Structures are given as structure tokens and as C-alpha cells.
Amino acid sequence: MIITLIRIFIYVPLGLALRVSQPYRAVGKEGEVPLRCSFTSNVQPQEMQVSLYRGLHGRERICRAYVNVSEPRFTTDGSVNCRGNISPGRVDMIVSGLRGNDTDFYRCAIEIFFPPPYLRTIGNGTVVDMQETPNCPTASTQSQIQSQTSEQESVEYDVGPLPLLYAILIITSCSLILQMFACKWRTSASTAPMLSQKERYMKF
């Protein structure tokens, strides 16, 4: 009896097959890309799970959300997050937090938990082309840059002559000191023979 129930829930009849399709290519800008996952099934899902996998074989899971159809909106957390809405036959989501090097193949997986039986299928995949916009300065950023450069120039202009003045003061003080020593040496040298001559005259 239990084995029969397990077979009923595991093996899906052909009439209840679930199929997921995705557009071939999607272009993302400013870290976000819109993705649509369309699905067809003979059952009307009430509780389902939507997952997004990265890579050709879909091994790296980017986000996952368990959704009750009565509250179709969902949001996931993480460095790369997904937010979207489930409507009959499709899932529309926006993936945020992507960069240029995240350009890759992304596959959408849909699992239907209720009503039974359990169904799971992965889509054919979408090539996500993330385009990074260059950091072009706006008018406000240009005015900020100009004000910063003018402030730097004024600071450099104010501070610039100070080292030159210090150097001039040091050089003049050193030259004065040297002149004083030279004058003392000259006076001592000139007075020494005069004293000796006076002493000689006194001796005579």
C-alpha cells in the first residue's frame, strides 16, 4: 500500500507533465536583468518553488523562493537577489546584483508541491548579457570635481611659498653667521701684529 502511494507521487502521468521555456537572450543594465520563465502544466499550481541556476548545466544556484500562489510576489536575499511575481503560466523576475563578469547561461527551475503529484522541470536557459555602463561623470559630479581641484590649487598656492621663505631665511641666517665669524677672524688677525709692534716699540 505504501509503495503504491510512493509510486503515485513519484511517477508522473504523461498528462500531468510540466514544461518550462525561457527566452534565448536577455540584456541587463546597471546590475539588473529581467527574466521570464514560462511554464505549462495540466495542474493549477497553488504552492511552488522557483529557483535560478547559473551555468550551462545549472549547478550554481543563484536564488530560490517558495511561493504560495495566493501571495504571488517574492523577494530573496543575498549579494545576488531575485524579486518577481507569479502569474498563470509564467514567472517574471528581476535579478539584481549582477556585474559584467556575470554574463552567463541562466536556467529557471520550477517545482510544484501542491496539488500533488510533485513536479519539477528546468528550463532551456537564457543567455544573460550584462552590460556595464562606463562611469561617466554627470553635471553635479563635474562641478564637485572642479570645486575640489580649485580648492586643491588654492591650498597649493597658499602653502607653496612657505618652503621657499624658510629656505631664504635659513640661507640668510647662515650667511650672516659666516660673515660674523669672518669679521671676528679678520679683526683678530689684524690686531695681533699691531700688538706685537707696540710691544716691540715699548721694548725699545
Q: What is the pLDDT of residues 11-69, one digit of tens each?
A: 444 445 889 999 999 999 999 999 999 999 888 899 999 999 998 876 789 999 999 98
Residue 201 confidence (pLDDT) above 80? no
Cα pseudo-dihedral 34, 128, 123, 110, rounded to 10:
-40
Residue linked to cell 715699548: 202
d(CA 130, CA 58): 18
What digits encode the pLDDT tens for the residues 82-106? 999 999 899 999 999 999 889 999 9
* Residue-averaged pLDDT of the chain: 78
Domain limits of the chain? Answer: 2-131, 139-199
pLDDT tens for residues 159-198?
556 677 777 888 888 877 887 877 777 766 655 555 455 4
Residue type, 186: R
CATH number listed for the domain at residues 2-131: 2.60.40.10
The upper half-sphere exposure of residue 116, i.e. CA atoms within 13 Å in the direction of its Cβ, equals 8
Q: Flag whether the pTM goes above 0.75.
A: no
pLDDT at residue 4 in the model: 41
